[in-house]
Amino acid sequence: MGMTNRQTKVGKLNSGEFTEFAFALYAIAKQTNSNVSDVYASLSVIDGSVKGTYKGVSFYGDGKQLPPFIEFGYFLEGKSTKRVANWANKCSTFVDGYFIPDFTKVECVGGSSGKADVTFKKEDKVVKVFSLKWNHDAVERSQSPSWNSLTELYEKFVDISELKEYYEEKYDVFTIPGLRYSRDKCDWCPELIERGQIMQDTVQVVDKYVAEKFVSGHVDAQALAKNLISCYAGQEDSVVFVELNSGKHYEIGANDQEKIEKALSDAEFTYKQEQTDSGRTRDTYIYLNGKEFIQFRTTASTDPASTAKGSNNDLRRIKRQTYLFINLPN
């Protein structure tokens, strides 16, 4: 669950990591019929990780759970911000109303690309996996301008190998480093702004190529259904997606393959492309029988450029950020 960093008692705190931690603790408290503060008191930092066992249920959080562990203590003391309290309360409300099968172990492990935010196990067998979101967040995020990164995302849908030569020619142009004028404001020089636009134009060509494959019927429904499920569940058998703001939830897994495949086989596809008034964001929408199905959203950001003397914060290189949103067919 990759989410916005916010200023809190412990400094910059990732809201996703905090909600994973809070969700896990409230679930343990519910199963053991205990107060969450008692569960929290059983935890400690050991070898850079957060660990503990409470009434027969063990918790393990990797190093990313250290700031949430500290902040949750402030929350229990009533010293956290209103925003943090809202994160915790949303988790508590959902857990109170959702049935999680009996478990003996809870894990909060993984990176931004992982689908499992909170995993519940009985002994060593997975009983339920949750992915926590705010509203309808992107199911995939691709953040490198390289061809390999591009294909990793888009070839979940269709083969784009025909575009390699075109893309790499443009890549050699839009990745030329440029200066930013102000470190505080992150202003870009005109050349860097132009290269960002070239990158977005290039990616929209890729988007259009993919969309037109859908429209012309050149998609493999069986392979596509499998890849769509993988976007949600990764290597897990199934994952429960929770939209914490609304409390909505839906479970997606291998058992949905046949249903999704049939919907794709019978579908009519259309698409449209847009850009924001600022020109900094480009969107491509693919519709399934008139309903929004897939959205590719690409924005331009920058990374420090590498030089012979190492990384240079004032010399920047355009970075592609593409977010994938999916509404699975019913």
Q: Taking a C-beta distance cutoff of 8 angstroms, is the pair 24, 73 a contact?
A: no
Considering the entire predicted model, what is its pTM? 0.83
Q: Select from 110, 133, 156 the last residue of a domain.
A: 133
pLDDT band of residue 302 (cuts 50, 70, 90) is confident
pLDDT band of residue 276 (cuts 50, 70, 90) is confident
**Predicted confidence (pLDDT) at residue 279 exceeds the cutoff of 70:** no
List the alpha helices (DSSP H) in the chain.
15-31, 36-41, 66-76, 82-97, 147-154, 164-174, 190-215, 221-233, 257-265
Q: The tokens of 28 are what?
A: 């343990």
Average pLDDT over residues 207-217: 96
Average pLDDT over residues 268-280: 86
159 Cβ contact list (under 8 Å, min separation 6): none
Residue 268: predicted pLDDT: 95
Backbone φ and ψ of 323, nearest 5°: -110, 135
Residue 190: predicted pLDDT: 87
217: left (phi over 0), alpha (psi -120 to 50) or beta: left
Q: Select from 84, 111, 133 the last residue of a domain.
A: 133
Quickly tell me which residue has 């086989």 as its tokens. 265
Find, among 143, 94, 83, 85, the residue nearest to 117 by Cα.
94
In terms of domains, do 114 and 144 share one? Answer: no
Quickly tell me which residue has 């809870």 as its tokens. 106
| Tally of domains within the chain | 2
Task: Give CA–CA dist 278/319, Å, rounded.
Answer: 18
**Predicted confidence (pLDDT) at residue 173 exceeds the cutoff of 60:** yes
Residue 184: predicted pLDDT: 56
Task: Give CA–CA dist 330/321, Å, rounded.
Answer: 29
DSSP 3-state of 280: coil
Residue 13: predicted pLDDT: 84
Residue 280: predicted pLDDT: 77
186 Cβ contact list (under 8 Å, min separation 6): 180, 302
Average pLDDT over residues 128-144: 85
Give the lowest-confidence range in 28-37, 149-158, 213-222, 313-322: 313-322
Q: What percent of the chain has pLDDT over 90?
A: 70
Residue 112: predicted pLDDT: 46
In terms of domains, do 111 and 197 share one? Answer: no
In terms of domains, do 48 and 109 share one? Answer: yes
- Give Cα 307 to chain centroid, integer Å: 31
DSSP secondary structure, 201-238, as one string: HHHHHHHHHHHHHHHTT---HHHHHHHHHHHHHTTSSE
In terms of domains, do 76 and 181 share one? Answer: no
Residue 5: predicted pLDDT: 42
Residue 309: predicted pLDDT: 61
**Predicted confidence (pLDDT) at residue 9 exceeds the cutoff of 70:** no
Q: Please indicate whether residue 310 or residue 171 has the higher confidence score (pLDDT).
A: 171
Q: Select from 108, 133, 158 the last residue of a domain.
A: 133
Give the lowest-confidence range in 109-118, 170-179, 235-244, 285-294: 109-118
Average pLDDT over residues 58-70: 94
Counting runs of H as helices and runs of E as strands, what totals does the chain give?
9, 17
Domain range enclosing 59: 5-133
In terms of domains, do 177 and 310 share one? Answer: yes
Residue 330: predicted pLDDT: 73
